[in-house]
Structure 1
Amino acid sequence: MRIEITTDAAEFRARTESFLLRDPLRHTVITSSVAGHIAGLVSGTSTPRFLSLHAEDGAVAGVAMRVQDRDVYLGELPHKGAGEVADALAEVEPEAAGVEGLVGDATEFAERWSARFDIGFHESYRARLYRLGVLRVPDVPGALRRATESDTELCLEWSEAMYADGGMTWLPTESDTIRRRVGAGQLWFWERDGQPVSLAAHQIPVYKWSRIGLVYTPSALRGRGYASAVTAGLAQDLRSDGLDVCLFADVANRTAGKIYQAIGFHPTHEFVHHTFG
């Protein structure tokens, strides 16, 4: 296998587009990240790394990336390809703190990384990818509204709270990214009596798919169906634009899984995240 690494999102998309189009749902994280970089929606000064594996005839056989100083993300890879990806990224991204991908691939990558740097690793969480089937809109008082510039501070507050609730790291670049996404019309509220009660966002549509995430309801307002309402309302809006819709949920968060399945989402893939050290 030959490996190519580029920092140019447009170059990577041109090189791998036919491969990604074979399964755009499976690659939703990579395709939306690439599209976001090209559209200028991703902030920060870190250098992105987009990696492709190529067979002897030059055909793309796998993809991976590391962007925004986050952990390595693995797309579809050939058998035993994750170890080769680990070796290649270790040369240019040795500070990576973890990896996420399908269970077998992510574990193979983590084992190779662990051996190379003489460190351990542990599973930090599992995430399940869902796709929307028949949408069932819940009967919840209120209405969907797109966030505007005047809502930016509330969007930032709730986004950071969601990261804290999920045990995720709020990087210094996140605030600017949220501001850009508000400007791009990607954040939405569920409002009741003129007051925001829940927040949802979607990624930039790419290859006729759009992924919902984040979804957040303040703790004092939970248990009233607002998360279901904002997710279903946003999914309905995206579908009316001719898009397929997907989202992720933490496998350990059974409530989220039940909510999403109740409004019509079906599980398709399970991913694991390993943290090094």
Structure 2
Amino acid sequence: MRIEITTDAAEFRSRTESFLLRDPLRHTVITTSIANQVEGVQTPDRAARFLSVHADDATVVGVAMRAQRWDVYLGELPEGSAGAVADALAEVVPESTGVEGLVGDATAFAQRWSDRFGVTFRPSFGTRLYRLGALRIPDVPGTPRRATESELPLCLEWAAAMHNDAGIPAVALDKAAIGKRVAAGMIWFWERDGRPVSFAAHQIPVHGWSRIGLVYTPAPHRGHGYASAVTAHIAQVLRAESLDVCLFADTANRTAGKIYQAIGFHPTHEFVHHEFS
């Protein structure tokens, strides 16, 4: 087994694309991050690291990354390799403060990191990945519309509030990327009585998939189905473009899981984020 690390998102995509295409749903975060950087949706991050694991015949058998000021994110890895991946990344990004991945891999990575640096770790949040099956459109008062560039401050405010509610560090909020998504028409409001009451966004399509997220409804407007409505509308728009659709939900937020399943999403994978202290 050999591990290679690069700072070049385009080089990494070229090296690993056939592997990622085997399961584009599982790797939606990695493929979207690469596409956003290569296509200019996100500002290239000098601290980014993209890791590939190779078998003896040079075939790619695993991937991981640290990009856009995020902590380490693990893609599919060969069984028992999480510790070696932690060692490799510890050499180049020792300042990383957490890791996210499938529960077993992320925990094994965190344990190796803990042993190496003499730190502790704890689960800070969990997420569940859903894919869209048969879409069901809820009957909810109001109408969808795309956010305008003049509403960027409101989009940023609600995105920050969503991160805060989920316990996700504010550093993960890429303000420039949100601005570009507004400009590209990828953020939608659900509007009631002439004012926005909920919003949701989607990522650029990659390998036939588009991922929905951010999704947020301010507390005074919750309980009316607005988040379900705007999410279902975006899913319908993406489906009309012949795209498969997925999204993540915070495992601690039972309401989110219920509303997504009610409109046709099915759980596929469970992830955990471990924070190093």
Normalised-by-shorter TM-score class: over 0.9
Q: What RMSD, in angstroms, separates the aligned Cα atoms of the two structures?
A: 1.2
The one-letter code of the counterpart of 2:18 is S
Gapped runs of 5+ residues in structure 2?
none
2:78 partner SS: coil
Contact 1:136 1:263 in 2 (8 A): yes
Q: SS at 2:170's partner residue?
A: coil
Report deviation, 1:175: 2.0
Distance 1:199 1:44 in 2: 27
Report the equivalent of 1:130: 130
Aligned ranges 1:5-84 → 2 under 5 Å: 5-43=5-43, 45-84=45-84
Residue by residue, what CA displacement relative to the aligned partner does 1:241-269 show, whole Å, maximum 9, x if unpaired? 11000001111111000000000000000
Note the C-alpha offset of 1:140.
Answer: 0.4
User: Could you tell which deviates more after superposition, 141-150 or 127-136?
Assistant: 141-150
Equivalence map 1:90-239=2 (5 Å): 90-171=90-171, 174-239=174-239
Secondary structure of 1:275's aligned partner: strand
**Residues 126 and 252 in structure 1, CA contact (< 8 A), matched pair in contact too:** yes
CA distance in structure 1 between the partners assigned to 2:124 and 2:181 by the alignment = 28
* Distance across 2 between alignment mates of 1:203 and 1:172: 15
Distance of 1:172 and 1:12 partners within structure 2: 22
How far, CA to CA, are the matches of 2:195 and 2:26 in structure 1? 36
Q: Secondary structure at the match of 1:165?
A: helix
| Cα distance in 2 for residues equivalent to 1:137 and 1:45 | 39
- 27-36 or 180-189, which moves further after superposition? 180-189
C-alpha distance after superposition, 1:77-135 (max 9, x if no partner) = 00111111100000000000000111111011001100100111111122110000000
Q: Deviations over 1:57-79 (max 9, x none)?
A: 00000000001221100000001
Q: 1:172 to 1:106 in 2, by over 3 A?
A: closer
- Aligned to 1:171, the other structure's residue is in SS state helix
What SS class does the counterpart of residue 171 from structure 2 fall into?
coil
| Structure 1: gaps (5+ residues) | none
Aligned to 1:87, the other structure's residue is in SS state helix
- Amino acid of the structure 2 residue aligned with 1:19: F
Contact 1:69 1:96 in 2 (8 A): no
Counterpart amino acid of residue 96 in structure 1: S
Task: Report the Cα distance in structure 2 between the residues aligned to 1:45 and 1:105, rounded to whole angstroms.
Answer: 25
1:210 Cα deviation after fit? 0.5
Alpha-carbon deviation of 1:143? Answer: 1.6
1:212-254 CA-to-partner distances (Å, cap 9, x unmatched) read 0110011111111000001101111111111000001111111
**Compared with structure 1, are the counterparts of its residues 202 and 173 closer, same or farther at alpha carbon in structure 2 (3 Å cutoff)?**
closer
Q: Could you tell me how far 1:173 is from its partner in structure 2? A: 6.6
How big is each residue's C-alpha offset from its partner over 1:29-70, in whole Å with a ceiling of 9 and x where there is no partner? 000000000111113654211110000100000000001221
Deviations 1:164-223 (A, max 9, x none): 111222229722221122122221111123311111011111000001011001111111
For residue 229 of structure 1, give the secondary structure of its aligned residue in structure 2.
helix
How much identity, in percent, do the aligned residues show? 69
Q: Is 1:44–1:173's contact at 8 Å kept on the other side of the alignment?
A: no
- Note if contact 1:3-1:51 (Cα within 8 Å) is conserved in structure 2: yes
Aligned mates of 1:45, 1:260 — CA distance in 2: 33
Q: Deviations over 1:135-157 (max 9, x none)?
A: 01000012221112121111111
Answer yes or no: is the 8 Å Cα contact 1:132–1:264 preserved in 2: yes
**Letter of the structure 2 residue corresponding to residue 87 of structure 1:** D
SS at match of 1:189: strand
- 3-state SS in 1 of match to 2:180: helix
Say which SS state the counterpart of residue 61 (structure 1) adopts. Answer: strand
